[in-house]
Structure 1
Amino acid sequence: MVEAQDRGDANVEVSPRDIIYTQPAEPAEGEKPEILHKLDLRFRSVSWCDDSLALVNETWYKTSQTRTWLVCPGSKDVAPRVLFDRVFENVYSDPGSPMMTRTSTGTNVIAKIKKENDEQIYILLNGRGFTPEGNIPFLDLFDINTGSKERIWESNREKYFETAVALVFGQGEEDINLNQLKILTSKESKTEITQYHILSWPLKKSSQITNFPHPYPTLASLQKEMIKYQRKDGVPLTATLYLPPGYDQSKDGPLPCLFWAYPEDYKSKDAAGQVRGSPNEFSGMTPTSSLIFLARRFAVLAGPSIPIIGEGDKLPNDRFVEQLVSSAEAAVEEVVRRGVADPSRIAVGGHSYGAFMTAHLLAHAPHLFCCGIARSGSYNKTLTPFGFQTEFRTLWEATNVYIEMSPITHANKIKKPILIIHGEVDDKVGLFPMQAERFFDALKGHGALSRLVLLPFEHHVYAARENVMHVIWETDRWLQKYCLSNTSDGKCGA
C-alpha cells in the first residue's frame, strides 16, 4: 500500500511525499504494515522479484523527473539505491523495463538471468530504443550490482521493426540461463503485418510461429514515410506521411489531405525534438483510424509533432495557441512543399485533446485548413477550474490561461465547417457531453457551419459497431463535402 504524505496535493512541500508499506497476505493479529521505502517524488509502480530484489519507480510531472530504486524487501539492513535517475521527456535516455517471468503460482516477477560460470545476477531490460533515426528496440543484460549493461539483441535497423514481447522459456524457474534463453518477439515492416517469432539463444535463431493474412489487402501497397521538418523557432518536428496505393505524384498531383494530430507538453526544446516511432512499423488501423481515408484517395498526415514547450519557469500553456499554430504551419508547409497536398483541401481532425486542438486551429489558423473533425473534446476549460491536462494552476490562479485555452471563447472566430462528435455518456472528467453541446450552441449562435453528433450509450472511446460505422460515415460525408469539393454552403445542424 502507498500513503501520500501531502494528501494528494502536489502544491504541498513535504518530504517524504509518499511512503510504501508492505504487509503479509494473512497478517497475524495486531501485526502492522512495515515501511518498505520512502519517496520524495510521486509513487508510480513497483516490480517485484523476490526478497532480495524489487524495483520501485517514482516520477514528478512538473519537472519530468523519474527515478528507479532497487530495494531488498526481505532485508532492512540493505539500503535502497538509485538505479536510474533521469528526465522522462528525454526518451533517448530510456534504459527500458525489466522482463518478467511467470512463477509456478501464476504471478509475474522480474526474471533473473545467469551466465555460464558467472555467479552474478542479471536482469533483462527491454527497451523501445528511441534514436534520431527512429525506434530500434533492444534487450540489455543488466548487472544489478555494478550497473553495467551488455546489448545482447536489437531490432533490424534497415527494414524491420521487431520488439521483445515476453519470455517463453524458464517460467517457474528461479533463474534462467542466458544460453537457454527464448524470447517471443513481434516482427513487422512497412508492408508486412506483424508476425510472432521465437528467438533462441545462443545462436539467436528466429523461427516464425504465426502467418496472419493482411487485414486490409486493398491498402496493402499504401506508401508510408517518416518525414522531418522544422518549426520557425528551430524545434525539429516529425510526422508520418501516408499516400494511397498507386499514387504517382507526376500523374496525380496534389491530393486532398487529412491532418490528424494530438498535442504534447514538454519542458525542453531538446526533448520535444526527439524522434518517437519507427519508419518500419506496419501501418495498423483501429476501427476509427484516419488511415481509412487512404481508400478515398486522401493523403494522411498522421501524428505530426505538436510540442507545447515551457522551459525554465515558464509553463507550456502560457504559449499554447502560439506554439500550436506554429507547429501546424510547419507541417502543412512541408506537405505542400513536397507537392503531395493541395493547400486548399487540407482538413484537420483529432480525438480528445486532438479535438481541442482542432477547434483552436480552425479559430486561430483558418488559412491552413478547409474544415475540421473534432471527436470527444473539451471546449470550455473553466468547467474544470482546479486543473486540466497538464495545467496544475486553478482557474483563480491563471484566469487568462483558462479563458485563452477555451475554444468556446473563440467560437466567433470559427468560420470553417466543423463536425463535432461526442459519446452521449462520456464520463471522463472534463469531457462530459455538455462540453460538445455548449460549444455547438456557441458556434450556432455565431452562424458557424457546424454539426453535432451524439453517439448513444457511447463513452470516450467508441466501441459499439453501429456507432463506429456511423462515425466513419459522418466523417466521410464531411470530408467529401467540405474538403474534397471544398464548399462551405449549408447550415448548422445536429
Structure 2
Amino acid sequence: MLMKKILKISFFLSAYCLLMVGICQAQEALPYQTPPQAIADLVNAPLTPTVSFSRSGDLMLLLERADNPSIEDLAQPELRIGGIRINPATNGPSRSGSFYNVMVKNTKTGQQQAIKGLPNNPKLGEISLSKDEKFAAVTNTTNKGISLWVVDLTTYEAKKLTDEIVNATYGSTISWTPDNKILLKAINPKRGQMPVAPLAPSGPIIQETSGNAAPSRTYQDLLSNPHDEALLTYFMDSQLMLIDLQGNKQAVGKSGMIKSVDLSPDGNYIVVDLIQKPFSYLVPASRFPYDVEIWDIKGNKVKTLAQIPLDEVRPTGFDATVTGPRSINWRADKPATLYWVEAQDGGDPKVKIDEREIIYSLEVPFTTSPKKLAGIAYRFRGIFWSDDNFALLNESWSATRQVRVHRIDPSNPGDKGTVIIERSSDDRYNDPGSPVFTVNDFGRNVILRKGDDVYMTSSGGGPDGDMPYLSAYNTKTKTEKILWRSQAPYFERVVKVLNADATEFVTLKESTDLQPNYWIVNTRKRIAPRQITDFVHPYESLKGINKSLVKYKRKDGLDLSATLYTPEGYDPAKDGRLPVLMWAYPREYKSAADAAQVRGSKYQFTRLSWGSPIYWVTQGYAIMDQTEMPIVGEGDEEPNDFFVEQLVANAEAAIDYIVGAGVGDRSKIAVGGHSYGAFMTANLLSYSDLFAAGIARSGAYNRTLTPFGFQYEQRSYWEAPDVYNTMSPFMNANKVKTPILLIHGEADNNSGTFPIQSERYYNALKGHGATTRLVFLPHESHGYAAKESILHTLWEMNSWLEKYVKNKP
C-alpha cells in the first residue's frame, strides 16, 4: 500500500514538473538579443542628414539626425491622454525624432559652415526660417523642458532666447512675424502645479447615449477619468508670447488650451483655436470642442469666427465629415483674408446633393458677411493660391477614388471655374503631379506659373516604373509640356525650382547603388549638372546586390509586380534555388487597370528602414519586396467581397514567378508584413498552405474589434458581417497549420491595432495547436524606435526564418 502511494506521488510530481516546464516554455524571460553581425552593422549605419532649403534656394540646412533612442529613453514617464502622448518632464511629445547638429551650405558657392554656440548634447526639434532668411528659430529639448534658440545665418552663431518655456504638447510652436519676432506658444506661467491623482475615485465613470447613432472608429490613448481631464487641461494650458532677437518676452492675448496658431501673411492678425469643454472619452483631443478666434497681434480679440462643437457623432464612411466651418486658413496671396469650407450635406456622404461643399472667404476687418468663393460636388482637399485671378481648387471622393482640380478666379466669387484635371487617385500613369511653388512678398508659398502654364512635378509613373519629370501644364488646353525628365539608370526628381521660368532647379539623384545626392541642373545654359552634396553610401555590404523590377500575371490576367533582391553575384543556374522572404501590404482598388499599374522604380537607392525585409539578402535569401497584393472591386462591387480569393491568387502568382525564374525554392518561402501587412499574412496562412512560415508585426486580427470600418472598408460590421468574419484571422485561427511569428509593441497607439489583437490571436492559435510565438516589445508604439527593440525584432525574425524556412525539416 505504501509503495502504491509513493508511486502515485512520484507520478503526480513528474506530471507537475512537466506542467511547469510547459509553463516556463510559454513564458520565456529573455534579455534583448542582437541579430547576425551583417544585419546589426546595417542597423548601426550612419544616418544621412535631412535637408531643408531656404525659400530662395540659396541655402541648404543640413540637419544631422540623432540615432535611434535607447530603451531607457523610451522608458521615461509618459502620459497617454486625449490621443496624445506627453512627456510630463518636458511638456512636449514623448516620442519624437531630433537632430543634433546644423550645417549651412550655400548652393551657389558650395561653401559649408558649421553653427557655433549650439547647446551641449542637443536634441533639436522644430525649425523655422525668418521671412528675410537671416535667422532660423529652433527648439531644444532637455530633461527639464523645451527652450527656444535662434541661429544667425549671417554669422553662423546660435544663442538661447528663452528658458524651458515652450509648450509643444500639441501642434507647432513657432511663427515668425515680418519684423523678425517669434510668436511662441509657451507654457502658461500661471498654470500652477500638476494635478495629483486622487487615492480613490470620487465615483464611477459613466457614459450615456440617448438614441442618436454615433459610430466611431477605435482610438488609442483616450481620456478615461476626471484626473485624465485635469492633466490634459494642465499640459495644454498655453500663453502666446512675442520674443524678439534679444530674448525679450511680451504676452499676447489670454491663456488657454491652445490647439493651433496661424499668423496672417501681413503679421497683423492671429487665428487661434482654443479647446473647450466638455471633453470626450470616445474621441481624441483633435475632435474636442474648440473656439476659433481672430486676434490682433497685440492679443485683442477681434472676432469669434466659429464655435466648433464636440465631434463625437459623425456619419459613417470615409467621406463623412463635420458640419460647420472647417479647414480655416489664411489666403497666401492676400494680407489678411480667411477662407474655409462648410459641408452642405450634414457631413453625410450618403446624402444625394449637387453642391456638397461651399468654400467661403472673409476679408479684413472681418465685419462683413462671408462671401461664397466656390461650390464643389466632392469633399474639399485644399486650395493652391497664385493671385487674385488664379487659384487651383482641389476636391476628391474616397469611395470612388475620384480627384478633381479646378482653375478658379478668386476675384469672381461664386464662379464655377474650369475642371483642368479629373482622374482616379489610383491612376499613377496619368497623374500630372503637383504645382511647383515660389515665395511671394508675404513670405508665403504660391503657385509658380507663367500665364496659363503652371509648373508641375510628377512621379512620372509608367509600365517601366516611375521616371519623375518637370512640366509646364497649360490650364486652358489641359495639356502638359515636359521640360525635363529623369533618365535611366537613375532615379532623379526635382526638389526645388530656383528661377521664374523653371530652367534652373535642384534635383535629388540616385540609383540602385548610388547614394542620393543633390545636384543643380540648368536646362537653359546647357551646362553640365553640378553636384552640391557628397553624402557617402551608408551600406557598403549592400553594394553589388542584384535589384530588379519583376512583372508577372495573376491567374485572372491582372498584371502584378514586385521588387526582387538577390545576393551579390547570385546566378540561379550556378547557385541553385534560394529561400525567399516575401514582404507585402495589400491595397484596395476600384479599377483593375489601376491595380495593374507598376509602382516604384528599380533605379531607386536601396534605403533600409528598421522594418525592412532587405536585411536578409545578406543571409542568403531572395527578397520579394513591395509585392503587389491588389484587391479589386469594379463599379458597385466592394473590393473586400473578394478579399480572400484575390489575396491568395496574388500570392500564388508571386510564388509561381519566383519559382519559375529558378530563384526560389517553393518549399522555403516565408511571407510577412507590418500592420495591414500583418493582417494579410495571417489571412494567407488561414486560407492557403503556400508558405513555410509567416511573420506578422503589429497587426489587427479580429475585425469585430474595429466594427465601424477599417482600412478602405466603409461598411460597418452589422452591414457586412460575413466580410468581417471571413477577413478576421482570429475567427479562422483553427485553419492555421503554418508557423507564424507575432510581434507587437505593447504601447501601440495606432487606431485599431491594440496590443490585445495579438494577445487574443496568439491564444486562439495556441488553443488550436498552431506553431506560434508572441513577442511584446516594452514601451514600443506602432513603429519601433529603441535600438534594443529593433535589433531584437530582427533577431526574432532571423531565428524564425532560419528555423522554419532556410533549415525547414
Q: Assess same fold via TM > 0.5.
A: yes
Cα distance in 2, alignment partners of residues 106 and 420 from structure 1:
49
Asked if 1:231 corresponds to 2:554, the answer is yes
- One of 456, 460, 477 as aligned partner of 2:778: 456
Q: Which amino acid aligns with 2:490?
A: Y
**Matched position secondary structure for 2:513:** coil
Residue number in structure 2 paired with 1:140: 471
Tell me by how many angstroms 1:201 deviates.
Answer: 3.1
Cα distance in 2, alignment partners of residues 35 and 17 from structure 1:
13
Cα distance in 2, alignment partners of residues 476 and 65 from structure 1:
42
Tell me by how many angstroms 1:144 deviates.
Answer: 2.9
Q: Deviations over 1:7-35 (max 9, x none)?
A: 433223233222222334xx435334332
Q: Deviations over 1:413-435 (max 9, x none)?
A: 11111111112122222111121
Tell me by how many angstroms 1:405 deviates.
Answer: 0.7
Q: Where in structure 2 are the equivalents of 1:120-135 lying within 5 Å?
A: 120-135=451-466
Residue number in structure 1 paired with 2:733: 411
Asked if 1:161 corresponds to 2:499, the answer is no
**Matched position secondary structure for 2:782:** coil
Q: Which amino acid aligns with 1:164?
A: V
Cα distance in 2, alignment partners of residues 52 and 422 from structure 1:
52
Q: Which amino acid aligns with 2:427?
A: N
- One of 745, 753, 766 as aligned partner of 1:423: 745
Q: Where in structure 2 are the equivalents of 1:156-235 lying within 5 Å?
A: 156=487, 158-167=488-497, 169-170=498-499, 176-178=500-502, 181-205=503-527, 206-235=529-558
Q: Taking structure 1 as reference, are residues 204 and 293 closer, same or farther at Cα in structure 2, changes over 3 Å only?
A: farther
Q: Where in structure 2 are the equivalents of 1:202-281 lying within 5 Å?
A: 202-205=524-527, 206-281=529-604
Question: Is the deviation greater in 448-457 or in 69-78?
Answer: 69-78
Residue number in structure 1 paired with 2:79: none
Residue number in structure 2 paired with 1:435: 757
Asked if 1:477 corresponds to 2:799, the answer is yes
- One of 440, 465, 469 as aligned partner of 1:103: 440
Length, aligned pairs only: 469
Residue number in structure 2 paired with 1:84: 421
Cα distance in 2, alignment partners of residues 98 and 151 from structure 1:
14
- One of 345, 364, 368 as aligned partner of 1:6: 345
Question: Is the deviation greater in 438-447 or in 316-325?
Answer: 438-447
Residue number in structure 2 paired with 1:58: 395
Residue number in structure 2 paired with 1:396: 718
Q: Deviations over 1:416-458 (max 9, x none)?
A: 1111111212222211112111111111111111111122222
Q: Where in structure 2 are the equivalents of 1:320-331 lying within 5 Å?
A: 320-331=643-654
Cα distance in 1, alignment partners of residues 744 and 576 from structure 2:
35
**Matched position secondary structure for 2:496:** strand
Asked whether the equivalents of residues 421 and 478 of structure 2 are also in contact (C-alpha less than 8 Å), the reply is no
The sequence identity of aligned pairs, in percent, is 46
Asked whether the equivalents of residues 381 and 394 of structure 2 are also in contact (C-alpha less than 8 Å), the reply is yes
Cα distance in 1, alignment partners of residues 774 and 543 from structure 2:
34
Q: Which amino acid aligns with 2:724?
A: Y
Residue number in structure 2 paired with 1:173: none
Q: Taking structure 1 as reference, are residues 400 and 459 closer, same or farther at Cα in structure 2, changes over 3 Å only?
A: same
Question: Is the deviation greater in 230-239 or in 275-284?
Answer: 275-284
Q: Taking structure 1 as reference, are residues 408 and 77 closer, same or farther at Cα in structure 2, changes over 3 Å only?
A: closer
Q: Which amino acid aligns with 1:231?
A: R
Cα distance in 2, alignment partners of residues 9 and 359 from structure 1:
34
**Matched position secondary structure for 2:420:** strand
Question: Is the deviation greater in 462-471 or in 403-412?
Answer: 462-471
Q: Taking structure 1 as reference, are residues 317 and 225 closer, same or farther at Cα in structure 2, changes over 3 Å only?
A: same
Tell me by how many angstroms 1:400 deviates.
Answer: 0.5
Cα distance in 2, alignment partners of residues 401 and 148 from structure 1:
43
Residue number in structure 2 paired with 1:375: 697
- Kindly report the root-mean-square deviation, in angstroms, between the aligned alpha carbons of the 2 structures: 1.7
Cα distance in 2, alignment partners of residues 191 and 219 from structure 1:
8
**Matched position secondary structure for 1:91:** coil
Question: Is the deviation greater in 2-11 or in 50-59?
Answer: 2-11
Cα distance in 1, alignment partners of residues 618 and 369 from structure 2:
62
Question: Is the deviation greater in 404-413 or in 202-211?
Answer: 202-211
**Matched position secondary structure for 1:285:** coil
Residue number in structure 2 paired with 1:33: 370
**Matched position secondary structure for 1:84:** strand
Q: Deviations over 1:446-481 (max 9, x none)?
A: 111111112222221222222222211211111111
Asked whether the equivalents of residues 504 and 524 of structure 2 are also in contact (C-alpha less than 8 Å), the reply is no
Structure having the higher Rg: 2
- One of 312, 316, 336 as aligned partner of 2:639: 316
Can you give the 5+ residue segments of structure 2 that lack an aligned partner in the other structure? 1-339
Tell me by how many angstroms 1:79 deviates.
Answer: 4.0
Q: Which amino acid aligns with 2:362?
A: Q
Runs of 4+ in 1 over 4 A off after TM superposition: none
Tell me by how many angstroms 1:81 deviates.
Answer: 1.4
**Matched position secondary structure for 2:429:** helix
Q: Which amino acid aligns with 1:163?
A: R
Residue number in structure 2 paired with 1:337: 660
Residue number in structure 2 paired with 1:117: none
**Matched position secondary structure for 1:93:** coil
Q: Deviations over 1:177-212 (max 9, x none)?
A: 35xx32111111122121211111313541111121
Cα distance in 1, alignment partners of residues 602 and 402 from structure 2:
29
Can you give the 5+ residue segments of structure 1 that lack an aligned partner in the other structure? 114-119, 171-175, 488-494
Residue number in structure 1 paired with 2:360: 21
Q: Taking structure 1 as reference, are residues 31 and 425 closer, same or farther at Cα in structure 2, changes over 3 Å only?
A: farther
Alignment TM-score, normalising by the size of structure 2: 0.56
Q: Which amino acid aligns with 2:713?
A: E
**Matched position secondary structure for 1:419:** strand
Question: Is the deviation greater in 30-39 or in 327-336?
Answer: 30-39
Alignment TM-score, normalising by the size of structure 1: 0.91
Question: Is the deviation greater in 84-93 or in 124-133?
Answer: 84-93
Tell me by how many angstroms 1:371 deviates.
Answer: 0.7
Tell me by how many angstroms 1:279 deviates.
Answer: 1.8
Q: Which amino acid aligns with 1:257?
A: V
Question: Is the deviation greater in 206-215 or in 254-263?
Answer: 206-215
Question: Is the deviation greater in 386-395 or in 120-129?
Answer: 120-129
Asked whether the equivalents of residues 583 and 673 of structure 2 are also in contact (C-alpha less than 8 Å), the reply is yes
- One of 351, 354, 379 as aligned partner of 1:42: 379
Q: Which amino acid aligns with 2:396?
A: T
Question: Is the deviation greater in 202-211 or in 390-399?
Answer: 202-211
Cα distance in 2, alignment partners of residues 362 and 477 from structure 1:
19
Q: Which amino acid aligns with 2:761?
A: F
